[in-house]
Amino acid sequence: MTISERKPTMTTNATGQRRPALFSDGFDLGRLLLQGRAFFALIAIIVVFSVLSPNYLTVSNLLTMSSHVAVYAILAVGMLLVILNGGIDLSVGSTLGFSGVIAGFLMQGVPIGGVTLYPSLWVVVVLSCGMGAFIGLINGVLVARFRVAPFVATLGMLYVVRGVGLLMTNGLTYNNLAGDPALGNTGFDWLGFNRLFGLPIGVLVMIIVGIVVSLLLNRTVFGRWLYASGGNERAAELSGVPVKRVKVRVYVLSGLFAAIAGLILSSELTSASPTAGNSYELTAIAAVVIGGAALSGGIGNVRGTLLGAFVIGFLSDGLVIIGVSSYWQTVFTGAVIVLAVLLNSVQYTGKPRRSGGGRSDDQSTPTTPSPTSDAQAPAGAVPEKTRG
Amino acid sequence: MSQAERTAQDIGEVVLEAVDVVKTYGATRALKGVGFSIHRGQVTTLFGENGAGKSTLMKILSGVEQPTSGTILLHGEPVAFTDTVDARERGISIIHQELSLAPNLSVRDNIFLGREITGPSGVDYAEEARQTKAVLDELGEDIDPMTKVADLRLGQQQLIEIARALSVDARILIMDEPTSALSATEVEVLFTVIHDLTARGVSIVYISHHLEEALEITDHAVVLRDGTVTATAVSADIDLPWVVRAMVGEGFDLGSPPTGYEFGEVALSVQGVSVPDAEIHGRNVVDRLDLEVRQGEIVCLYGLMGAGRTELLEAVAGRNPISEGRILKDGRDLAGLSIAQRIDAGLGLVPEDRQRDGLVQTMTVGRNMSLASIGSFVKGFFLSGRREADLVTDSIRSVHVKTAGGGAMIGSLSGGNQQKVVIGKMLATDPDVILLDEPSRGIDIGAKAEVFRLLAERARQGLAVVYTTSEVGECLSIAHRIVVLSRGRIAAEFGADTTKEAIMAASGEAVIS
């Protein structure tokens, strides 16, 4: 009765066969390591670099690295929403840069008729975020209403948005974002430089975004709709889930978060370059994937994504600190991403196969010794016996 | 008939035998010492409910899994298959219930997938096409080898799957629910093929929930219950009640129409509705159809594949647009309402294909169960976890889902229990009208009876039920009224006191002897 009647295809079976041998006996340890892989990777990174450099594990360095991470992490949380939906948003890097450009443009004053208007800071922030959300809306409408493949729609927006940013600035950078007390538009650097409760504002924003999105995913109808439509859009639609509305919203949120990240980045740099955030979308995707989300949709969470962003950020900053060349940094980052995807595929092809005999794994553990380093050896021998 | 004569002649040499096979998954014993033999040139049918161990046994015989203990004898020699390729090389092929074809490739490429015929200049497509044509001719199917599989009907796709197994020259062919998607004509074709194959000495293992059909084709019947063989017989000695008794261990029927109450108002009214064909322009799959269902009434829609049952239900549920006519629920025109709005209005659809349209495989039993009614337990901005948990617990109990709890993954349930989750999900929206497209497909007879009992119970409370089926026997269970569809129109209507013959004649189905 507990055995599933689902008939797997032959190929998944061939691999499914070995899985219990790999994980059933070293199950507790193996599964723990697999599920918490982003966390353990982060611990390992911190330990290794702390040994290699005395400057790594200091409060000030951790905070500096965290504010680097914050920009990627906020992007990645938006990306997570899109990926949970089974889509992808390649335009976030451009949106991030464009958001800074909009802010810079408004800070320089907007000439209307004969007068130049200097909008106050909150107006700048709201308009920049609104522009990010609007770019997301275009993505969402293209994908949901006009059924353009997400990859293509957002790739197009990547170019369009970047191009518009370059046009607006003529390729130049806005350097004066400090504002003028006389004009009442100061405070832009607050985002990038100030601290509250000892934490950089960017990190706080990241924490808030993380908590809000976490609540959104786990405690609201929208979150459930998102998981359902990402897992099986047809079934979700037939269950009354407004799948198109959900889809549009995730792109809007992704654009919004990209704009917030853009404001933080330009504030930290006190300059807004139209080329800022180039290829950041790829880092964001990598963070989501390292965090255990499935690119096919329906699986993933905020905690994993944040850990993924920290893994990437702490790794590349660590390599800088110990003086590894930037070429090697690229290689390491790539290797981590590939490893993460590899482990994802182990986890997700393993799960449905095992779900049939889900209980079996638990029950088989008492007969074997507690998972030690050599527990894998007898475990591997079992299937050989049954086969021979 | 002819099979009976054949079985009377000889039992046939045993080609493959399972001796005292045990398979355990952790603490669960799926097979508890099963003995099973396959005879040369004969059909052996394995009967049993979902979870009885049929699939596990077939997986062991076809090399997908290895037995925990016990022996497999091939031509009297003990063997251990390392995998399906190994088993296939020794002449054992399995056709799975779920199709494993590449829909984007042609019939030819699918049949030779993974074992392409190569010549000096790469793949010898001409030879592949010729052999494909030959094997399709053998099946009596006139399909161009270059047709894309995606363009074929589901029934034809299944035949391609069978053709693929035949083309590897299988000596033992295991068919798991081969007819579940086939029309009556296609089933006849398949049965002719099976006769041809057995005449050539190929042994067939047949698994089907379609008991009557299986009885017609089989030479031997083996019944599994709860991991043990409960009965073995040659088909000449047995009949349907015998099989059912051996499967469930008691007398069984699928229920009768609930009585003792008056139907209420007309709940659903379909007036002159046409649904255009998605592929052929200008043709209607549902053609100016009228149907009324009252509160508390159970209506069975019967028809062959292509009769328009699914299209009608999907149009009523709001998934497909209608080209003319009106659909009223409690007198309110549903035109322009989305699926979600129709669910809110009290009209729910349980789709035909539960894997594709019914369930979200990445979510738990509970979350699948609550998906359609999730709007009803929002507290302020957030979901109320307790209200959801209560609903899930109630639903699991009321539709009798056998599960470890709402937190179990949906994939861990058997087919019948998954189907109950899909039905429970819709019932949780508290509908007035429920449409069920083939609610009994691919689930065992015990689960079928439970599903029907559940629907009868709800109908008594005023729910209007419309269900479709392609098994005549299921029309004559709980339905008050049987509507036979043919080519998008109503061919006939019957009361609950009609006969199978009358229904099948009205549907235009050739009555299989």
The DSSP code sequence of B319-372 is SS--SEEEEEETTEE-TT--HHHHHHTTEEEE-S-IIIII--TTSBHHHHHHST
What residues in B contact A212, CB-CB < 8 Å?
none
Domain enclosing residue A261, as ranges: 32-349
Minimal-distance CA residue of chain A relative to B410: A355
Query: Are A2 and B28 within 8 A, CB to CB?
Result: yes
Distance from A362 to chain B by nearest Cα, in Å? 8
Q: Categorize the per-residue pLDDT at B10 as very low, low, confident or very high, splitting at 50, 70 and 90.
A: low
Give CA–CA dist B337/B323, Å, rounded.
15
How many domains does chain A contain in total? Answer: 1
Q: Does residue A297 sit within a domain?
A: yes
Q: Does residue A340 sit within a domain?
A: yes
Q: One digit per residue, pLDDT tens: chain A, 388 residues? A: 444 434 333 333 333 333 333 444 445 667 777 777 888 889 999 999 999 988 888 888 899 899 899 999 999 999 999 999 999 999 999 999 999 999 988 888 777 777 777 787 888 899 999 999 999 999 999 999 999 999 999 999 999 999 999 998 888 888 877 777 676 667 777 777 777 787 888 999 999 999 999 999 998 999 999 999 999 998 999 998 999 999 999 999 999 999 999 999 988 888 888 899 888 999 999 999 989 888 888 999 999 999 999 999 999 899 988 888 888 888 888 888 888 888 877 776 654 433 333 333 333 333 333 333 333 333 333 333 333 2
Computed over its alpha carbons, how large is the radius of gyration of chain B?
24
| Most confident of the ranges A240-244, B53-57, B187-191, B487-491 | A240-244
- pLDDT at residue number B158: 75
Minimal-distance CA residue of chain B relative to A238: B339
User: What SS3 class is residue B401?
Assistant: coil
- Residue intervals in chain B for CATH 3.40.50.300: 1-89+203-252, 266-506
- pLDDT at residue number A369: 35
Q: Does residue A278 sit within a domain?
A: yes
Query: Are B412 and A231 within 8 A, CB to CB?
Result: no
- pLDDT at residue number B305: 65
pLDDT tens-digit map of B140-161: 778 888 888 888 877 778 778 8
Architecture of domain B266-506: 3-Layer(aba) Sandwich (3.40)
Return the amino acid letter for B171: R
For the cut 60, the answer to whether the pLDDT of residue B8 exceeds it is no
Architecture of domain B1-89+203-252: 3-Layer(aba) Sandwich (3.40)
Give CA–CA dist B56/B410, Å, rounded.
19
Query: Are B402 and A221 within 8 A, CB to CB?
Result: no
| Least trusted range by pLDDT, from B168-172, B309-313, B363-367 | B168-172
Give CA–CA dist A345/A37, Å, rounded.
13
State mean pLDDT over B483-490. Answer: 86
What residues in B contact A241, CB-CB < 8 Å?
340, 371
Tell me the C-alpha to C-alpha distance, in Å, between residue A37 and each of A60, A259, A343. 26, 30, 9
CB atoms within 10 A of CB B207: 22
- Which candidate from A3, A10, A234 shows the least CB-CB separation from B51? A3
- pLDDT at residue number A108: 81
| Contact residues for A74 (Cβ-Cβ < 8 A; gap 6+) | A205, A206, A209, A257, A258, A260, A261, A264
CB atoms within 10 A of CB B360: 23
Find how far residue B109's CA is from the centre of its chain: 27
pLDDT tens-digit map of B413-431: 877 888 889 999 999 999 9
State mean pLDDT over B320-329. Answer: 90
Q: Does residue A364 sit within a domain?
A: no
DSSP single-letter state for residue A114: T
- Which candidate from A6, A238, A358 shows the least CB-CB separation from B351? A238
Q: Does residue A361 sit within a domain?
A: no
State mean pLDDT over B90-107. Answer: 83
Query: Are B28 and A237 within 8 A, CB to CB?
Result: no
What residues in A contact B378, CB-CB < 8 Å?
220-221
DSSP single-letter state for residue B277: -
Contact status, residue B100 vs residue B181, Cβ threshold 8 Å = no
Cα–Cα nearest to B217, from B37, B48, B43 = B43
- Which candidate from A228, A299, A361 shows the least CB-CB separation from B26? A361
Supply the CATH number for residue A149's domain: 1.10.3470
Give CA–CA dist A350/A360, Å, rounded.
14
Query: Are B98 and A7 within 8 A, CB to CB?
Result: yes
Q: ipTM higher than 0.85?
A: no
Query: Are B66 and A387 within 8 A, CB to CB?
Result: yes
State mean pLDDT over B213-239. Answer: 84
CB atoms within 10 A of CB B198: 22
Cα–Cα nearest to B60, from B9, B17, B111 = B17
Q: Categorize the per-residue pLDDT at B248 as very low, low, confident or very high, splitting at 50, 70 and 90.
A: low
Strand residue runs (E) in B374-463: 378-379, 382-383, 433-436
Contact status, residue A192 vs residue A260, Cβ threshold 8 Å = no
Contact status, residue A287 vs residue A305, Cβ threshold 8 Å = yes
What residues in B contact A215, CB-CB < 8 Å?
382
- pLDDT at residue number B102: 85
